[in-house]
Structure formats: structure tokens, C-alpha cells
């Protein structure tokens, strides 16, 4: 069975983390992704986080389904080799600081002169234009500038950043989407184009109507902890066994079921209970009702009772709960991936299922430069030429 992106060649020049993850999403559905790293400076994700026997585990996820080569793009011979590699490519993904590729003679004009059909995907902290464009940019800065941190955390606490690459991950999904749009447009026009993605923007797009609220009402989203200013009860609650559940009542009918379940049906008749904002204004009272009921029962009993009442609840998991959960098992959310260094490694599967052309993780991240000779040999370089370029630090 063919994959949706069979025959699509992607060259991944990016590091940390949005660009490489976007390329991985494309590889999950059949694209031939060639990961280019500096000969002496591998992708820093190889050294991020825990390692096993000296093998970085984050890279195993981020580098999945990619062939790996080394190439020094700042060397004129390295730049020339990249142009040869891109001559029949469909997509380039890069996240250098704006102006870097141009300095090496690898800007969009030069790339499109070699391959007019190339989709050039440029991911940077602040975009290719504007007063901040040349600043170093990371997802943490986007989480701060987007309004996410300002709206996250306890009301009397500091702005809160996520403990993982949230803005980078959202940007990766947006970049993969942008690439597909650009490839679809190429079907009509016959030519590629430049995708300019600033990491500060996709996460802002995910934060709902905050700009419109402020524009029309002067309203600023406050920090509410686990609560919502749109509905209540909505929070995390501690069970008798010390474990936690999360409850959501975005729908009026769900809110009514929850209050009946916890033995407080009289609150449903209050005038303020009829709207989400009215319930949010009485969150203290509603939280007290739910938390008192939950605190008397173990988590499994709470979840079972909510399920029987058709009310919305979920256990608060760490990774151990995820791996043991039957719903994730039924979806195939986690899979074991073959790996030459670790034997097998479990990781998240592709994030959705296509009925006829499903994605697949064929292998985990490969060793630094593992496919250099095969990839550049296919361009016509002899073994002697490869050895000479490697000696000079080009490969």
C-alpha cells in the first residue's frame, strides 16, 4: 500500500525542534526525509534530555523515518552539494536565523534557480521580516510573547511556562500543514514558494478569542489555575487514594449531570446555573461540591460513576497511566519502533489515522551521518571524492 507522500523528497536542515518535528510528520506519511547535520555539530536534540548507553532518546523520536547525512553548509563545496541534493527535492525545511542561508549563497533566489518547484519552508522565532527577525528565537519566547504564559498558572502565581516544547510542537503541525498547502498549490501553478513561519504565531492562533475580547471589550484573560471563565465546575480534584481526576462541564447538560451525581441537584435550579459564565462566577461553590464528593472515593470509583452518569471526567495520567490505558491501546497511540542501537523503543505513533493510506514509523532516529555515503554517492560522488570531502570537514 502506497503512502500519501510517497515520492516526495524532503531535505531537513532544521534543529531544535519545530522544523525537525514538521519534517518527521511528513516522513510519517511516506516522504523521503534527508536530515542534514553539521559534521562536527550534530542536531542538539541528540544531547537533550535522558540518554541510554550514551544514545539520546529525544532524537530517537524527532529523527524517526529520516535518513541522516552530514554537510558543512558554510563551506562553498558544502553549499554546492546541497544545491545538487535539492535539484530534485520537493521540500526544504530550515530554521536558521534569517539571513544565514543568504550569506551562504543559498537564499530562495539561488534555490529556485536550481529547482523552481521547491517549497522552501523557513521556520524562525520571529519570522523573516520585522524588527525582531534577526533575534535568536525559541519556543519558550513564543510561549511568553503569545499570551500563553500570562494566562497560565494560579491567580496569585507567576506566569507559567509549559515543561515541554509546546510552541515548537504547535509550530511543527502548522508547518506541516503549510507544506501540504504549498504542494497542493504547486499542482496548479507548477512552481514552489516560500513558507515563512514565525514560532510566535501558531500558538497565538491556538489561544482563542483573546485579541477579539480585548478589541471589543478591553477584556484581558486572567490566570485562573485549572478553572475556566467560560464554565464551571472545571478543575482537577484529588481522590481518596491520592490520585487525581479532571472534570469538564463545557455543555450545560454535562454540568447538570455532574451536580446530580455529586448530590447537589438544588444548585441546578439557581438562576446563575443556566449559563457557563454564571457557573464560572460561582466556581468556589461548585468546586466545593465536586471536590467533597470526589475526595471520599478512589479514582477508579469516581471514573466509573461519572461514566455511568454520562458526565465528562478523565484520570490525570503520567506516562505510566498512558501506557496502561485501554483506550490508548485500542487506538494504537503508542508503538514499539525497531532501532539499530536500542533494539526497540516505544514512542507516540502518528497522531491520527487515515483509513486507506495510514502513516507509519518505520524506524527511530538514526546515527549521526549514517546515510552520508549512500545519499551523496547517489548524486555521483565517488568513494575517493567522499573521503576527500570528509577529510576537509565538508562531510
Write out the catalytic residue numbers. Answer: 168
Cell of 213: 475580547
Residue 94 burial (CB count, 10 A): 21
Q: Tell me if residue 207 falls in helix, strand or coil.
A: coil
Q: Return d(Cα 24, Cα 177) in angstroms, integer.
A: 13
User: Which are the contacts of 224, defined by CB distance < 8 A and separation ≥ 6?
Assistant: 151, 155
| Torsion sign across C-alpha atoms 200, 202, 206, 210 | positive
**Cβ-Cβ contacts under 8 Å for 288 (sequence gap 6 or more):** none
- E strand spans, the chain: 9-12, 32-37, 51-52, 55-56, 66-70, 91-94, 119-124, 194-198, 235-238, 244-247, 313-315, 334-339, 343-348
Dist. CA 227–CA 152, nearest whole Å:
10
State the SS3 of 351-377. CCCCCCCCCCCCCCCCCCCCCHHHHHH
DSSP 8-state assignment for residue 309 = H
Amino acid at each position: 500500500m502506497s503512502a500519501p507522500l510517497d515520492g516526495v523528497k524532503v531535505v531537513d536542515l532544521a534543529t531544535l525542534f519545530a522544523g525537525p518535528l514538521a519534517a518527521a510528520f511528513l516522513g510519517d506519511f511516506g516522504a523521503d526525509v534527508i536530515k542534514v547535520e553539521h559534521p562536527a555539530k550534530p542536531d542538539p536534540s541528540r544531547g537533550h534530555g535522558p540518554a541510554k548507553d550514551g544514545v539520546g532518546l529525544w532524537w530517537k523520536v524527532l529523527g524517526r523515518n529520516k535518513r541522516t547525512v552530514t554537510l558543512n553548509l558554510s563551506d562553498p563545496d558544502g553549499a554546492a552539494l546541497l544545491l545538487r541534493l535539492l535539484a530534485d527535492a520537493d521540500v526544504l525545511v530550515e530554521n536558521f536565523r534569517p539571513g544565514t542561508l543568504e550569506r551562504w549563497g543559498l537564499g530562495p533566489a539561488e534555490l529556485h534557480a536550481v529547482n523552481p518547484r521547491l517549497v522552501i519552508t523557513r521556520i524562525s522565532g520571529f519570522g523573516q521580516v520585522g524588527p525582531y527577525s534577526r533575534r535568536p528565537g525559541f519556543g519558550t519566547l513564543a510561549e511568553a510573547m503569545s499570551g500563553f504564559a500570562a494566562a497560565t498558572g494560579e491567580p496569585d502565581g507567576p506566569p507559567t511556562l509549559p515543561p515541554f516544547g509546546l510552541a515548537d510542537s504547535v509550530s511543527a503541525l502548522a508547518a506541516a500543514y503549510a507544506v501540504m498547502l504549498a504542494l497542493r498549490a504547486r499542482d496548479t501553478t507548477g512552481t514552489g514558494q516560500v513558507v515563512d513561519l514565525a514560532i510566535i504565531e501558531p500558538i497565538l492562533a491556538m489561544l482563542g478569542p483573546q485579541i477579539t475580547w480585548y478589541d471589543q471589550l478591553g477584556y484581558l484573560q486572567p490566570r485562573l489555575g485549572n478553572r475556566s471563565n467560560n464554565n464551571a465546575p472545571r478543575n482537577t480534584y484529588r481522590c481518596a487514594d491520592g490520585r487525581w481526576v479532571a472534570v469538564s462541564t463545557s455543555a450545560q447538560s454535562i454540568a447538570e449531570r455532574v451536580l446530580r451525581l455529586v448530590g447537589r441537584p438544588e444548585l441546578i435550579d439557581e438562576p446563575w446555573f443556566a449559563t457557563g459564565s454564571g457557573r464560572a462566577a460561582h466556581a468556589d461553590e461548585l468546586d466545593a461540591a465536586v471536590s467533597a464528593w470526589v475526595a471520599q472515593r478512589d479514582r477508579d470509583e469516581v471514573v466509573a460513576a461519572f461514566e455511568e452518569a454520562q458526565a465528562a471526567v478523565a484520570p490525570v495520567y503520567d506516562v505510566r497511566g498512558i501506557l496502561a490505558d485501554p483506550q490508548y491501546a485500542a487506538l494504537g497511540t503508542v508503538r514499539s519502533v525497531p532501532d539499530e542501537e536500542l533494539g526497540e523503543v516505544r514512542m507516540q505513533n502518528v497522531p491520527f489515522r487515515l483509513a486507506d493510506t495510514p502513516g507509519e514509523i518505520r524506524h527511530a532516529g538514526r546515527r549521526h551521518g549514517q546515510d552520508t555515503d549512500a545519499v551523496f554517492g547517489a548524486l555521483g560522488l565517488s568513494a575517493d571524492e567522499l573521503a576527500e570531502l570528509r577529510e576537509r570537514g565538508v562531510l
